[in-house]
Structures are given as structure tokens and as C-alpha cells.
Amino acid sequence: MAILKKIGLYIFAAGFFFAGVAHFIYDEGFAQMLPDWTPIRLEIVYMSAITEWLLSLLLVFPQTRRAAGIATAVFLIAVLPANIYAAIYGIPAPWSNETSELALWIRPFFQPILIWWVLVVSKDSNSF
């Protein structure tokens, strides 16, 4: 079981890191996921990208893994409103001009799975 947990951890950390990369590549698209009244939208996108990089790195090290897992869960809860906003208002995926309504709603419904995933793989950091 420990090997599956370790694989799950590294897959999550890599995916989270590449999500941060996507925030820089598709910055304008991610900024559109925030309401118009939100100040410094691009800066928020960049800060969230850097946060994703930092958290993904901290997940790799056993000494910081548990705290990073909890912080990542909190971060995922914090960005959930942007995913819901995008689904409600039909804002396409950042890398697309058009996204189906079903695909837009998958993101917010998938968020609890990501939260569960990171909490599971970051628990008992001394075991591997």
C-alpha cells in the first residue's frame, strides 16, 4: 500500500506543479474565472501559480508533507468559488474558447476528490 500512496503523492505533486505552469501560460483565461469586480486578477492568477509550485514542492519532502497536504486542501477550498463561478457563467476553460457545460461543472465536483487525494497521500509522512 505504501508504494501506491507514494505513486499517488508524486502524481498529485506533479499535476499540481503543472497546473501552476498552466496558470502562467493561460493567465488571461484563468483571470476570466474571477468576477470582473475582483481587483488585480492577473496578479491573483500568478500568486496562485506560485502557491501551487510551492505546495507541490513541499509535498515531496517528508518533513513538510503533512503540513503541505493540509495547506493544499485549504488552497483547493479557497479556489473552489472561481471554479463554481466559471461553471455558473459558462466561462470556458482557460486554454479554450468554448467548453461544454458538463465539462465546466466537472471541475467543481472534482475538487473534493482532489482534497481527499492530497490529504490521504500526505498523511503519515514518515512511512515513506
End-to-end Cα separation, the chain, in angstroms: 11
117 pLDDT exceeds 70?
yes
Separation of alpha carbons 51 and 121, rounded Å: 19
Residue 124 or 30, more confident: 30
Tens digits of residue pLDDT in 3-51:
999 999 999 999 999 999 999 999 999 999 999 999 999 999 999 999 9
Does the pTM exceed 0.95?
Answer: no
Tens digits of residue pLDDT in 45-91:
999 999 999 999 999 999 999 999 999 999 999 999 999 999 999 89
Q: Is-contact 67 27, C-beta < 8 A?
A: no
The 3-class secondary structure across 53-107, one letter per residue, is: HHHHHHHHCHHHHHHHHHHHHHHHHHHHHHHHHHHHHCCCCCCCCCCCHHHHHHH
103 pLDDT exceeds 80?
yes
CA-to-CA separations, 74 to 55, 71, 114, in angstroms, rounded: 11, 5, 11
